[in-house]
Chain A
């Protein structure tokens, strides 16, 4: 049992923080970047690639760095700390993760190599109107036409769906969820992108007999693999949220020390400092849970259940800290010109993209009385 990062991991954090601080340490710079399509900075994306971060979790033979969930956690937290708009979790951890888990050796080399080099942006087109946070597809169907797979239906919202060079798409065939690769320039593909409240981009992606390449061998059901990769992304998002909460809290504490009302700085009011203390408590409890979930993933434990636990804890903490950060600032917290409200906005998006706290709680509750206690030191963790 050890909660310390090793020196290589600490070096990684220093390097990523340096890069992202230069890009977004000035919140005004982030505002400029997210105001224009594609909602992130292509140059920063290339720099992330040069540092090896866009291939971080993939095997070296697939063009990756062969790192694990702990390194992913470090990068995600640093992304959250400055609200870097580059889609690290979405493109690398989730979309790339699905290809790494399911793709053939040739597909992994063809798709993950360019992703790792920064030459190609990936998006996971999975969410469908009318369902929420399901590991299965239902509205988009796949049929075989001669030797060609064709997709029909709508995926929305697809994060970075309009910008993506390659879409990783889930679709139903013979009642099973299969996975496909679709090129951005494929025929019968219509993508309508829009801005999201947190500065990002999402899209309505419409398939109309769109040719697609089956990901992996055979058409067996991929629900379990999708669930595993969603869990990995939920854990990474928990770390991104931790980074964002950390900045939101520190920004708020700084504000309380400098802003004057009634002739004194705000930190003279216990009604405010106690609320800041509660934000700290929520942050540290969520941080412990997220770190543990990454260790479970690293040790090959039950990643789905660990992700639900991290999701629940960071969801509760993220909402609490996000709302209090604005309230303790007062009116300026609601403006787009000041940075703190953007943290709340991003935390709100993270909370809803892959499953919110109540959703995770319902999953955890369904079996809660079937076992006696949770033993986080159990090796490897299973509920």
Chain B
């Protein structure tokens, strides 16, 4: 039991902090700090700077650009990135398909994709959910039928995040509809988004943003060499992929930043001649969320400190669930601090409402997603009740 970081880790943390705050362009970090729209160009520019410094995919195998760091080092890397308002390496590339290709792809696929994936030369998107397969992902239907040297894909995916920017899609398809266990008839295919027969329809979200899409497939021909791993083993790869970053999903650093901003806004907001920060009830709400966040951060540290042997710590399931709740609590707090100004969501020039108050409600509404994606909080409770409590 020791509280402090070792001198080596303290130096590592300082190195990360210095890099992120000096090497990532200020305009990008300002955009993240202002909670404004992060563009494709922002993501690409950032990831290439990170990749050039070996900081885009440290969790990958060393021969493909990884750094052989401990889980605690990775935790520090991610936290410092979030605290410095740096857009994280694109999750679809860095956390999802990259590690799957490195673990299950053949040599040719690794050489073809991994370097470009790390550098965001290829922008990947995810074809997992379907209109009738949400939390119950294993019920997905999109069939891929073998025809000569190709797979022919028909059907529809949905909730494909940032698919509008994507060059390639990794897609779960049903290759054996007769399999006794439905998880056994699923395969993982990758193909370009400009393949004939692929169409994309953006879905407008509550905050007016366009993040997710529906993707339709009509007789899309995918060469057999684009199957990742073994036929009908796609479910295993999906589970590997989704379980890969259970720790990072707590997003403690990002919520810390939101909370620091909430304090700043509460100090700057005057109510009846006094700063809102001095209202005991408001200060109490901030302090309570902050303490919950501390508890979550400490739990994340417990998990990373104990996951060196490869098995996830039982408490890791808490991270996604509580992490999403606290992200939501922080955005809700900021809306409440904005008060009546929070309705000026789409105000442009000519409004006296500060920028932070304009983005408050759209972000709060947008963040309802975080307790739904990546395995909804109800799915997480089912996991905790079943695998931890044996219920």
Contacts and interface: CB of A to CB of B under 8 A. Distances in A.
A376 B380 CA distance: 27
B295 A368 contact: no
B88 interface: no
Given A281-B321, A373-B260, A377-B3, A368 B391 contact: no
A295 B3 contact: yes
A256 interface: yes
Contacts of A291: 1, 298, 302
A381 interface: yes
B263 interface: yes
A292 B2 CA distance: 9
Contacts of A296: 3
Interface in B318-338: 318, 321-322
A379 B318 CA distance: 27
Given A4-B306, A285-B292, A291-B298, A257 B390 contact: yes
Nearest to B278: A369
B294 A376 contact: yes
Interface string A279-296: 011001110110110111
Contacts of B3: 1, 292, 295-296, 298-299, 301, 376-377, 379-381
B305 interface: yes
Contacts of A381: 3
A331 to B, nearest CB: 21
A365 interface: yes
Interface string A255-285: 0110000000001001001101110110011
Interface stretch (B129-137, B154-162, B180-188, B279-287): B279-287
A288 B302 contact: yes
Given A298-B3, A312-B288, A366 B298 contact: no
Contacts of A294: 1
Contact of A281 (B4, B263, B318, B390): B318
Contact of B1 (A4, A280, A312): A4
B291 A312 contact: yes
Given A285-B318, A295-B1, A364 B391 contact: no
Contacts, number: 161
Contacts of B294: 289, 292, 309, 374, 376
Contacts of B284: 361-362, 365
B277 to A, nearest CB: 4
Nearest to A68: B1
A369 B2 contact: no
Interface stretch (B46-54, B103-111, B381-389): B381-389
A299 B318 contact: no
Interface in A67-104: 70
Interface in A109-159: none
Task: Point out which of A276, A294, A298 has the most chain B C-beta atoms below 10 A from its C-beta.
Answer: A276
| Size class of the A contact interface (CB-based, 8 Å) | 35 or more
A2 interface: yes
B259 A267 contact: no
A253 interface: yes
B29 to A, nearest CB: 16
B222 to A, nearest CB: 39
Nearest to B267: A369
Given A276-B391, A280-B389, A379 B4 contact: yes
Given A276-B389, A295-B1, A299-B3, A3 B287 contact: no
B4 A299 contact: yes
Contacts of B292: 285, 313
A369 B4 contact: no
Contacts of B288: 312, 361, 365
Contacts of B179: none
A361 B288 CA distance: 7
A364 B2 CA distance: 24
B378 interface: yes
A185 interface: no
A312 B378 CA distance: 26
B378 A376 contact: no
Contact of A369 (B266, B293, B390): B266
A128 to B, nearest CB: 25
A189 to B, nearest CB: 41
A5 interface: yes
Given A313-B291, A313-B295, A374-B294, 5 more contacts: A3-B302, A273-B389, A295-B1, A309-B291, A377-B3
Interface of B: 1-5, 9-10, 13, 72, 83, 256-257, 259-260, 263, 266-267, 277, 280, 283-284, 286-288, 290-299, 301-302, 305-306, 315, 318, 321-322, 378, 380-382, 384-386, 388-391
8 contacts: A249-B389, A276-B389, A277-B384, A277-B388, A277-B389, A298-B1, A299-B2, A372-B260
Q: Which are the 7 A-B pairs with shortest beta-carbon distances? A: A288-B298, A273-B385, A295-B3, A277-B384, A365-B283, A365-B287, A285-B295
